[in-house]
Amino acid sequence: MNVMAKAEKKISSAFIYFFGSFGGILFGYDIGVMTGALPFLQADWHLENAASLVGWITSAVMFGAIFGGALAGQLSDKFGRRKMILMSAIVFMVFSVLSGVSPDMGEASAYYLIIVRMLLGLAVGAASALVPAYMSEMAPAKARGRLSGLNQTMIVSGMLLSYVVDFLLKDLPGEWAWRLMLGLAAVPALILFLGVLRLPESPRFLLRKGDEAQARKVLSYIRKNPAEIDQELASIKETAKEERQANQKTSWSTLFSGKYRYLVIAGVGVAAFQQFQGANAIFYYIPLIVQKATGQAASSNLMWPIVQGVILVVGSLVYMWIADKFNRRTLLMVGGAVMGLSFILPAVINWMMPNMNPMTIVLFLCIYVAFYSFTWAPLTWVLVGEIFPLAIRGRASGLASSFNWIGSWLVGLIFPIMTASMPQEAVFAIFGIICILGVIFVKTCVPETRGHTLEEIEEQGTNHGRVKASNPEN
């Protein structure tokens, strides 16, 4: 026991924050890898005219993630964030390899790959729910926006990594190219597993389970001031005491009780809007978007995903710089407004000037990605990690993650079908309207959380619920 304690004391806060957010690499790699693999897979399996099958192969991971997020959220409340991240890494490794060795059995191959990628999605969805919850519970309130933003930096770094891997492998024979692209996802999963083996459990989870000594020890790794540790422990204990006094037993119905409804709707709504705004249509299909705009083969357009990836990484770094300088709501509303206009304007310009340069839409997509990268992309996961009260955090984070993945799955599934039946400009204009609706939702339904402790955010939501209960007409 003493040897283990000494080993734990050597864990630096930088190590904790790095590997605590490293699950985002898995999330990002699998978002991005199909972008480059799809053109080769289509050619290898002769799927060029099978829009629905292409949509299912692309979106299968997101379909599995719907259930992975909800399941991991519940299990993490019972077994802890750390153990569930480890399990996610193992599942991710296994099914990444199985994706890469898909048998060539005609049309049955597509169904095999769809099923395997659905199971892989369980791990992707789990990571998307667990990482924000873990990071928010480890980060101090004054730096929570910046440190939780590490998750987004990891996600977009994983996407950029997948784009670069796709580009480097594009000259291999078609069958080998897409198989290696998918199979190499096991490498970051292995790195995550080895890193998380040394991570401590969340202090809030430990205290909730009655292990105050270990919770104090973990806080000592990441808080420099003993008085700050005492204050944080006291705050968490007070919240836990109130929950015990109320004999709170969480269930799905608990999430939408008067006490929690306001915060749950806010967090789940932001998570859903992030995906229904259409960002992943760009990330999954940018080579095919450029192909439709210019007539060039999709497999020759793999530099465009790298351009998008670089914009995303730079944007995530910009976010970390401004995260705790601007209100969350302000960034979401400004970002959503510009994103909406970036989708709507190409349709307007094309209507006014039918001979518009087809690359104009790609330029506007780059503007969309730039603003998305430092507003909705990182802030969604920051809010999901910090807005839910401790008693329901695991379950509510899982629900938010599931709604996020429902949006991602639907966008991935229907985008190729939509673009096969209508102009691309019209498709993106629909997403632009959804972006504007997201701005309205943030304005009316989302509280400000910057600079507040998790316990203060919970009190804010509880007070809002009491006001609504006493003034039902409001």
- Which pLDDT tens digit goes with each residue over 202-217? 888 888 788 888 888 8
Distance CA(28)–CA(151), nearest Å, equals 10
Predicted confidence band of residue 65 (pLDDT cuts 50, 70, 90): confident
Q: What is the per-residue pLDDT for 436?
A: 97
Let me know: does 182 contact 33? Beta carbons within 8 Å.
yes
* Residue 10 phi, psi (nearest 5): -80, -5
pLDDT of 225 > 70? The answer is yes
Output the CA torsion 327→332→335→339 (10° steps).
180
- The residues, any chain, with a CB within 8 Å of residue 88's CB and separated by 6 or more, are 23, 26, 68, 72, 122, 123, 126, 127, 130
Torsion sign, CA atoms 242, 244, 250, 256: negative
- The residues, any chain, with a CB within 8 Å of residue 224's CB and separated by 6 or more, are none
Candidates 453, 431, 410; CA nearest to 62 is: 410
Predicted confidence band of residue 299 (pLDDT cuts 50, 70, 90): low
Q: How far is CA 448 from the centre of its chain?
A: 20
- Helix locations, 295-327, DSSP H: 303-322
Q: What is the per-residue pLDDT for 110?
A: 87
Residue type, 327: N
Q: What is the per-residue pLDDT for 249?
A: 60
Candidates 271, 262, 316, 264; CA nearest to 438 is: 271
Output the CA torsion 450→453→458→459 (10° steps).
-100
pLDDT of 2 > 50? The answer is no
Candidates 5, 23, 44; CA nearest to 385 is: 23
- The residues, any chain, with a CB within 8 Å of residue 247's CB and separated by 6 or more, are none
Distance CA(117)–CA(53), nearest Å, equals 13
Neighbours of 6 (CB within 10 A): 9
Taking each helix axis as running N to C, give the angle between helix 261-276 and helix 424-445, from 0 to 180 degrees, rounded to the nearest 10: 160
Predicted confidence band of residue 6 (pLDDT cuts 50, 70, 90): very low
Q: What is the per-residue pLDDT for 12?
A: 78
pLDDT of 381 > 80? The answer is no
Q: What is the per-residue pLDDT for 342?
A: 94
Neighbours of 48 (CB within 10 A): 11
Let me know: does 461 contact 260? Beta carbons within 8 Å.
yes
Let me know: does 237 contact 394? Beta carbons within 8 Å.
no
By residue count, the chain amounts to: 474
Q: Is the pTM of this model over 0.85?
A: no
pLDDT of 391 > 70? The answer is yes
Q: What is the per-residue pLDDT for 115?
A: 94
Please state, for a pLDDT cut of 90, what percent of the chain lies above it: 25
**What are the chain's domains?**
13-469 (1.20.1250.20)
Give CA angle at 99 (94, 101), nearest 5°: 100
Q: How far is CA 11 from the centre of its chain?
A: 26
Predicted confidence band of residue 247 (pLDDT cuts 50, 70, 90): very low
Neighbours of 353 (CB within 10 A): 10
Distance CA(278)–CA(347), nearest Å, equals 15
Let me know: does 286 contact 308? Beta carbons within 8 Å.
yes
Q: For residue 225, give Cα distances in angstroms to 120, 182, 219, 231.
A: 42, 45, 10, 10
Residues 360-378 have a mean pLDDT of 91
Residues 14-43 have a mean pLDDT of 84
Let me know: does 297 contact 291? Beta carbons within 8 Å.
yes
Is residue 202 helix, strand or coil?
coil
Predicted confidence band of residue 340 (pLDDT cuts 50, 70, 90): very high
- Region of residue 11 (left: phi > 0; alpha: psi -120 to 50; beta: else): beta
Q: What is the per-residue pLDDT for 405?
A: 80
* Residue 323 phi, psi (nearest 5): -50, -50
Q: What is the per-residue pLDDT for 5?
A: 43
pLDDT of 3 > 50? The answer is no
